Amino acid sequence: EVKLGNYKGVRDKTASTYDLVVQMHYLYVNVVKAKDLPVMDVSGSLDPYVEVKLGNYKGVTQHLEKNQNPVWNKVFAFSKENLQANLIEVTVKDKDIGKDDFVG
């Protein structure tokens, strides 16, 4: 039996918590690591990060200072309902004070 304010009713026994959940579909992109990235700066350092672009949506990992073998283990979830593209662009960049450099 369910009581809401002045309303009194009997709960449907066939209803479950699953009925209250909206099923959503996602595309998961897992950025794991990179190995032997080239040094991009004159100083000999590399501060890499990854951009994952899918249509109008973008995910960015944190940049890791002075690291040619970075490990991110970062998962991005893109909602299937909002996807407007069928191409994923994954780019490694070097974080700089001015414009960031393209690594690969």
The rounded Cα 70 to chain-centroid distance in angstroms is 17
* Better-predicted residue by pLDDT, 44 or 100: 100
What is the tens place of the pLDDT at every residue in 13-46?
555 666 677 777 888 999 999 999 998 777 788 9
C-alpha dihedral (84, 90, 94, 98), degrees to nearest 10: -20
Q: What is the pTM of this model?
A: 0.75
Query: And the tokens for 73?
Result: 């283990």
Domains in the chain with CATH codes: 24-102 (2.60.40.150)
> What is the Cα–Cα distance from 88 to 26, expressed in whole angstroms?
14
What is the tens place of the pLDDT at every residue in 52-96?
998 889 999 999 999 999 999 999 998 888 777 888 999 999 998
Query: Which pLDDT value is given to residue 14?
Result: 57
